Amino acid sequence: MSDPEGRADLAVKVGDVELSNPMLLASGTVGYGEEMAELIDLNRLGGIVVKGLSLEPERGNEPQRIVEVSGGMLNSIGLQNVGADAFVQDKLPFLEQFDLKVIANVWGRTVEEYVGVARRMDAADGVHALELNVSCPNIKEGGISFGTDPVQIHAVTAAARAATEKPLWVKLAPGVTDIGVMARAAEEAGADALSVANTIRGMAVDVGRRRPLLATIYGGLSGPVMFPIALYLLYEVSLVSSLPLIGIGGVSELDHVLQYLTVGATAVQIGTANFYDPTASQRLVDELARWCCDEEIPTVREVIGSLQVGEL
């Protein structure tokens, strides 16, 4: 039971994935969980989405890889990771000790690479679901990001769908004209849930040196500044998709969690807050339980999608 006093019912289901509570750790912000386990009790969380996995190990981008900006940060880590096989062999056993769901974040530079990782995750017992990170350039299609083209989202989702029986989540990219179109493409290709959203492109310049602060010129914006933008994107997606949704972006206070749930998220992911407030996820579980009790809400599931719009 997530509620320390055992009173609140925080359990939610993202499709077939049963979570003890809606709090997940976001991909790329907690590695493979080892370091976080020194600080928080992973058993207390709904789940962990591990750092994006590719077929082969990746070194990632050249430093400087992050810049702090007002209320957020830019990153261009470049998806450095140990690779799918090493993850299964060296990292997954650690996570299997805990009572939380393990979601593998999957990426590739071609559809085939996505499929390769998906197959390996399908075969790995401790993995409960896959989350496709479609914010990657497709090198076979001139480097256009999978996530900005409904045809490509459909293709990569359908291919991954064929490669795994496990629940398949698709993590949408925010920088598109109509995220609803992308959501529908993923849904039609067989996604079981949609994660909204990945980071937003941003830039910062060192004026003294007349150079970008990130080695890759621009990077992905995350943190509190993202919250109202991602909440709106989730709302947009909720209007066109009947899939379970996962709210991602800027979560650092209970009010953020509740806003996501109210607009229609079944769960949320906590990313950048893990850096500047490393016990935030666990505290939010407690706060959510207490809020449910104080508001006399028997189950947090009542909050999901409870938004009322239009005239009173």
Partner 1 sequence: MFERRLALESIHTLSGRCFVLRYRCPDIAAASLPGHFVMISAGDAIDPLLRRPMAIYRIVREAGAAVGFTLLVERTGRGTTLMARARAGDMADVLGPLGRPFRLPATDVLDDEEDLLVMGGVGAAPFPLLAEVLVGRGARVRAFVGGRSREDLRCLDDFAQLDVPVHVATDDGSAGHCGFVTGALEAHLQRAAGRPRIYSCGPTPMMRAVDELAARHGCDHQVSLEAPMGCGIGVCLSCVVPVDRGDAWIYQRICREGPVFDAATLGWR
Instruction: Please give the positions annotated as active site.
Output: 136
> Which of 35, 96, 178, 206 is the binder for partner 1 (CB under 8 A)?
35
* Token reading at 290: 């207490």
Three-state SS for 146-183 is HHHCHHHHHHHHHHHHHHCCCCEEEEECCCCCCHHHHH
> Which of 19, 23, 79, 121 is the binder for ligand FMN (CB under 6 A)?
79
8 versus 233: smaller Cβ distance to ligand FMN: 233
Q: Which amino acid type is present at position 40? A: I
Under the binding rule (CB under 8 A), the answer on residue 63 touching partner 1 is: yes
Matching residue, tokens 């702090």? 68
Q: Least separation, in Å, of the C-beta of 221 and a second copy?
A: 6
* Token reading at 24: 């997940």
Q: Least separation, in Å, of the C-beta of 252 and a second copy?
A: 9
**How many residues touch ligand FMN (CB under 6 A)?**
25
Instruction: Say if residues 53 and 106 touch (Cβ distance below 8 Å).
Output: yes
Under the binding rule (CB under 8 A), the answer on residue 69 touching a second copy is: yes
Instruction: Say if residues 76 and 61 touch (Cβ distance below 8 Å).
Output: yes
Under the binding rule (CB under 8 A), the answer on residue 143 touching partner 1 is: no
Q: For residue 50, which of 120, 1, 111, 150 has the smallest C-alpha distance?
A: 120
Q: Least separation, in Å, of the C-beta of 69 and partner 1?
A: 8
Cα angle for residues 258, 105, 152 (degrees, 5° grid) = 100
Instruction: Say if residues 120 and 84 touch (Cβ distance below 8 Å).
Output: yes
**Eight-state DSSP code of residue 38:** T
| Binding interface with a second copy (CB under 8 A) | 69-72, 74, 148, 175-178, 200-205, 207, 209-212, 217-218, 221, 224-225, 227-229, 231-232, 235, 250, 255, 258-259, 262-263, 306-309
Residue ranges in contact with ligand FMN by CB under 6 A: 26-29, 51-52, 75, 77, 79, 105, 133, 171, 198-199, 222-223, 226, 248-251, 270-273
